[in-house]
Chain A
């Protein structure tokens, strides 16, 4: 690839064939800026199904386009035309909704416990459960257990 004679002439890019914009390190935009600027450009698509108790059909949402739990809550509220999901994330006891998700292991977990990035990596599907429908009292019990445990910390 390197020309030994060193006579620089107008060689038109005989370099590697790969597309420049797919080379790591190019264009030289720092990774913080990449993650925080480009609308959906650099973010992988993470589509998951969302079901809501009482709704006739399921929806799909792209977790990759959201920056965090609050962002997600707003999106879910818009999707199903309901309010209270954001509250549910802040203080579970006050809202009539309980947002849960199925993780990689097949377990149903309460949304909001783990850091956002960890959540997006392990979330397989979402469900917005009505508190009154909680057959999954185990989940709530588990949460209380965790609350008690963390109080000791």
Chain B
């Protein structure tokens, strides 16, 4: 296949941005593999334990941007103990030692330490961008190191991390010479920031496009910042509380009116609803709106706001918007592509916030909808069938009925037919989360129709091993399967062991698999890490009793064998 000199190949490969495309070309032949690996600068690693830092750097010497994911997805819901793993330090250390010219680091669900951040800030002269999502283990001291030492920092984006606040002055650590910031997001920080330092930093960051403040930044500071940064494209407010008759508020209104470029709005972590009209002028241009942390905005005010947002493509809100409110969304936001409706009350105290009605209205009014996360009180098969017909373009469909084993309240049937309609109609479906009363039948449908499915989340569903087997057999592109509290056991686990090498990972908790079954699997498949999470020494009593049920099992393919940083309560079989 060597019709072209390598320089030409490399030039062609430059056009390939997605890692999937690059992975594909590297498999064509040895010479393409070689050209590709020397030219790849951005690497995505979906499971940090599938490979190790040395081999990564060995293969991709020109590495400049690294994305790493650590803990399994169910760690988000407190199912994974705190010290399970996912430490980024060894990666930073290895890259520093081997002289990698790292410019970007993106981490999700990893444990990040202050030492790691300090090392990161000192080791890579051209470091530009740090994005941390759902990480933990660091404090504002680590942020101070980043601010102090990364001379060309463009992006510091902290999304939903657990950060210990050490009441230091991390924001003041950005030197006066730092003018390169394009994106700053510290909304998840709990502590105070030095407001004067923030204002000065904003004033000298003329390339700033994205800013998300935390709850400690008052409206007065926001007004001053906006007055100097009318070029902002993405804004997350902190506190949005003021006296509407005050001078401060008047100045805010003026400043906002000049912000003609804002397309994305979020925050309102504290909010006085009477202040909301100040943002109506920018609502017209909004393509993204995230009010999912704005508890202070009630249904009627939400609706008033939404009526101004005709161009919305992405909307994240709380279920206090109600079915009627979703009807307004459906008639106003014709360009809507992604909708997430979060619960405002976890205990389902009976007040029906949103139901199937709201979802049906959305599906009828928003034909471009392709991504959904919907927490609701109830759902019917009829509604799901209608939604499937109205919106055949779903790529992500996540439904969470707060009480997960209730049937269709109208027919008292399981929701198999409804989800069946979804998978049959949405031929491009890549991600699916199920809830409600479900039998093996739904898995039969999934195995039969969900040809593009890559990720499936299951809870309290199915009757027997058949269910899980249908999925493993039928979904050829399955990458991640996570199951909790469902009656799948060793038969399902062991029937097609080769399947797991085609997947990134499998999680099973509170199912019927036994220690013996897991041991058998581990023995047959040496290139899988089969981890048992044994919290509270549930299994200590008789470690050789293979009939014991395994409370939590997480298995994943790996090229580097069992990890060496597993804590005592994690057994790699």
Bound-state Cα–Cα, A41 to B74, Å: 21
Bound-state Cα–Cα, A117 to B512, Å: 38
What are 20 A-B contacts defined by CB distance under 8 Å? Answer: A2-B465, A2-B512, A3-B463, A6-B440, A6-B464, A8-B440, A8-B463, A11-B439, A11-B463, A15-B485, A21-B346, A21-B348, A21-B403, A25-B74, A26-B485, A30-B77, A31-B76, A31-B78, A39-B295, A68-B192
Contacting pair B77 A6 (CB below 8 A): no
| Shortest Cβ distance from residue B284 to the other chain A in the assembled complex, whole angstroms | 28
Number of B residues, CB within 8 Å of A: 60
Bound-state Cα–Cα, A29 to B188, Å: 16
Q: Give the most central of B342, B345, B404: most A CB within 10 Å.
A: B404
Bound-state Cα–Cα, A69 to B216, Å: 12
- Which of B19-27, B119-127, B159-167, B353-361 faces chain A? B159-167
With beta carbons under 8 angstroms apart, the residue of A31, A32, A34 that contacts B188 is A32
Bound-state Cα–Cα, A112 to B441, Å: 58
B47-82 contacts to A, CB under 8 A, are: 74, 76-79
Given contacts A36-B293, A38-B345, 6 further A-B contacts (CB under 8 A): A11-B463, A15-B405, A23-B485, A29-B375, A31-B76, A68-B165
Measured between beta carbons, the chain A residues less than 8 angstroms from B165 are: 68, 115-116
| Shortest Cβ distance from residue A13 to the other chain B in the assembled complex, whole angstroms | 4
Bound-state Cα–Cα, A16 to B405, Å: 11
Contacting pair B404 A41 (CB below 8 A): no
Measured between beta carbons, the chain A residues less than 8 angstroms from B74 are: 25
Q: Is A33 an interface residue (CB 8 A)?
A: yes
Query: Contact flags (1/0) for A102-139 with B, using CB distance below 8 Å?
Result: 00000000001001110000000000000000000000
| Shortest Cβ distance from residue B147 to the other chain A in the assembled complex, whole angstroms | 18
Chain B residue, CB-CB nearest to A68: B190
- Which of B91-99, B171-179, B275-283, B410-418 faces chain A? B410-418
Contacting pair B404 A20 (CB below 8 A): yes
Measured between beta carbons, the chain A residues less than 8 angstroms from B484 are: 25-26
Measured between beta carbons, the chain B residues less than 8 angstroms from A6 are: 440, 463-466
* Nearest 8 interchain pairs by C-beta: A8-B439, A2-B487, A30-B76, A13-B405, A32-B160, A6-B464, A25-B77, A8-B440
Q: Is A1 an interface residue (CB 8 A)?
A: yes
Number of A residues, CB within 8 Å of B: 43
Contacting pair B437 A13 (CB below 8 A): yes
Contacting pair B439 A28 (CB below 8 A): no
SS of B interface (majority): loop
Chain A residue, CB-CB nearest to B161: A32
Contacting pair A2 B463 (CB below 8 A): yes
Q: Is B400 an interface residue (CB 8 A)?
A: yes
Chain B residue, CB-CB nearest to A30: B76
Known: A20-B405, A37-B295. A116 touches B190 (CB 8 A): yes
A1-55 contacts to B, CB under 8 A, are: 1-13, 15-16, 20-21, 23-34, 36-39, 41-42
Measured between beta carbons, the chain B residues less than 8 angstroms from A15 are: 405, 460, 485
B382-435 contacts to A, CB under 8 A, are: 400, 402-407, 412-414, 416, 433
Q: Is A70 an interface residue (CB 8 A)?
A: yes
Binding site for B on A (CB under 8 A): 1-13, 15-16, 20-21, 23-34, 36-39, 41-42, 67-70, 112, 115-117
Contacting pair A28 B459 (CB below 8 A): yes
Bound-state Cα–Cα, A6 to B76, Å: 32
Contacting pair B134 A20 (CB below 8 A): no
Bound-state Cα–Cα, A5 to B487, Å: 13
Known: A26-B404, A41-B347. A68 touches B439 (CB 8 A): no
Measured between beta carbons, the chain B residues less than 8 angstroms from A5 are: 464
Bound-state Cα–Cα, A31 to B79, Å: 10
Contacting pair B164 A115 (CB below 8 A): yes
Known: A11-B439, A32-B161, A38-B345. A4 touches B464 (CB 8 A): yes
Bound-state Cα–Cα, A41 to B405, Å: 23
Measured between beta carbons, the chain B residues less than 8 angstroms from A39 are: 295
